[in-house]
Structures are given as structure tokens and as C-alpha cells.
Structure 1
Amino acid sequence: MPKWIQLLLLLGTFGSLALNARAEHITFHNELAACVTIKTITTATASNVVLANTNIQLRKSIGECGCLSALAVYISSVGRGGVQQILQEGLIRLDRDGEKTFVLATEPRLIEKKAVQVRLFCAPPL
């Protein structure tokens, strides 16, 4: 089993033991807002990975928002010196309502006292 899957399973099991990340604020720039609502439930840190646990609600398929599959790309970033610096980029499957976890950073100090922006948009065709 890949290590990242093991980490997610571990976080699902011990998520309540994780420490809160100290991001000032998390903002979603949701380009799929006509189809998907995202609400941050909590943030947590485990093994230096900062996570945003969210609740996803689909109003309609993201295909109706122009996506060619159920996959979306997310990019987390913070502003430093007037420039947005990318922290993480990933794919997330948006085919049903429920809880989803976004990896925001692999080092908690990168987001400490920073406003984190998460951009969500259609994944490009393969």
C-alpha cells in the first residue's frame, strides 16, 4: 500500500489527536462554485502535513461546470512579499457529497500566521 494512503488511513483513525494548524485564515477560490460548495470543518497537522478537512456538497455534476471528468485540481498558496507562493498541488475526486481532505502544506511553519488560499478548478484532460 502506498505511504500516502497509509497516512490518510492513519489520519482518519487518529485525526482527533492531530494538532491544529495555525493558519490565519483559509480561503477557497472555487472556480466550480456553481456545482460544488466547500466548507472547512477543521485544520490539523500530522507528521508535518497540514490538512484542511472539508465538507463537500455537490449541487450538480462538475461536468456541468465544464470539467471533462470528476477530477478537480487544487493548489494551496500563501502570499510572501506580494507574491503568491505555491505550497501544494493535487487532484481530488468530486463525484459525491461528503468529507474530503486537502493537503495544504508539508511544513506547518509555511502557513503559520498566513492567509492560505486554495484554488479549485477542473483537471485538464489526460
Structure 2
Amino acid sequence: MFRDARRTGARVRNLIPFIVLATFVGIASAADVEKITFQNDLSACVAIKETKTATASNVVLANTTIQLRKPIGECGCLSALATYTSSVNRAGVRQILQEGLVGLKSGGEKSLVLATEPALVTNKAVQVRLACAGPS
């Protein structure tokens, strides 16, 4: 019994590099987003720049670089959390795809979820609004 468990464990360990590679291959693909624009309500405190778009398990991500100019409390926020909202225009109507929170205690690379299905953003212009998070 123990011998079989050791063999199974060894087989699983041998598969780890392939699992890791498959994960990165899935992340490397990207949805065909036409363009991403940022409506940055916190621009006096925060600069945001998209570096690339990626898709992992059908979730479309905007990988961004955040640069803090000053604490977002100086821009009227009550905490170091900001909200972001992704949306697209469909037949003249703005439709919200995702909304989430992002911590802005420090700058650096941040991934924002744009959509949970690539078809929602394929060949579409996506707008991402960054604003103060509401009080909790």
C-alpha cells in the first residue's frame, strides 16, 4: 500500500512542470480587445497604464502598472481601496461588465478583471473607470 502511494506521489511530482507550463500557456493567450481607455477619477494621485491584456480560464485581465503620485486619501478617498469598473458600448448603451476593488497602498503591477468571457470584449473598446471605493 505504501509503495503504491510513493509511486503515485512520484508520478504527480513528475507532472508538476507540465501543469505549470499549461497554466502559463493559458495565461499567455489574449482576448482581441480593440482598445482600453481609462477614466481615472484619481488622476491627481494615481497614474494607471495598461501593459497588456491576457486571458486565463476565460477571464480577461488588464495587466496594468500603477504609479502613486500621492496617497489616494488626498484625492478624497476614505481608504487605500479604489473601485474599478469595466464597461463596453453595445448599440449605444454603456454596459458594465465587471466591478472590483484594487488596493492602492502601493503602486506596481496590478491585474484588473475586465470580463468573465472573452466574447464580451472581443473587437470592442473597453472603458475602465477608477474611483474611490465607497464607505464600508
* Shorter-chain TM-score tier: 0.7 to 0.9
Q: Which runs of 5+ in 1 are unaligned?
A: 1-9
Residues 71, 123 of structure 1: 8 Å contact kept: yes
1:116 corresponds in structure 2 to: 126
Residue 119 of structure 1 and its aligned partner are, at CA, apart by 0.6
Of the three residues 37, 41, 55, the one matched with 1:45 is 55
Q: Please give the secondary structure, in 1, of the residue aligned with 2:82.
A: strand
One-letter amino acid matched to 1:52? A
Shift of 1:29: 0.3
Aligned residues: 115
CA RMSD in angstroms, aligned pairs only: 1.6
Match of 2:116 among 97, 106, 116: 106
1:21 deviation in Å? 1.5
Counterpart selection for 2:73 from 38, 51, 63: 63
Matches within 5 A, 1:1-126: 14=24, 17-126=27-136
Contact 2:26–2:56 at 8 Å: present in 1 too?
Answer: no
Q: Distance in 2 between matches of 1:15 and 1:95?
A: 31
Is 1:25–1:115's contact at 8 Å kept on the other side of the alignment?
yes
Report the Cα offset of residue 87 of structure 1.
Answer: 0.4
In 2, the alpha carbon distance for the partners of 1:93 and 1:15 equals 27
Greater share of helix: 2
- Paired with 1:50 and 1:78, the residues of 2 have a C-alpha distance of 13
Question: So what's the TM-score if we normalise by structure 2?
Answer: 0.81
DSSP 3-state at the match of 1:109: helix
What TM-score results when the alignment is normalised by the length of structure 1? Answer: 0.87
For structure 2, the 5+ residue unaligned runs are: 1-19
Hey, what does 1:5 align to over in structure 2?
Answer: none
- Greater Rg by CA: 2
User: C-alpha distance in 2, partners of 1:71/1:90?
Assistant: 10
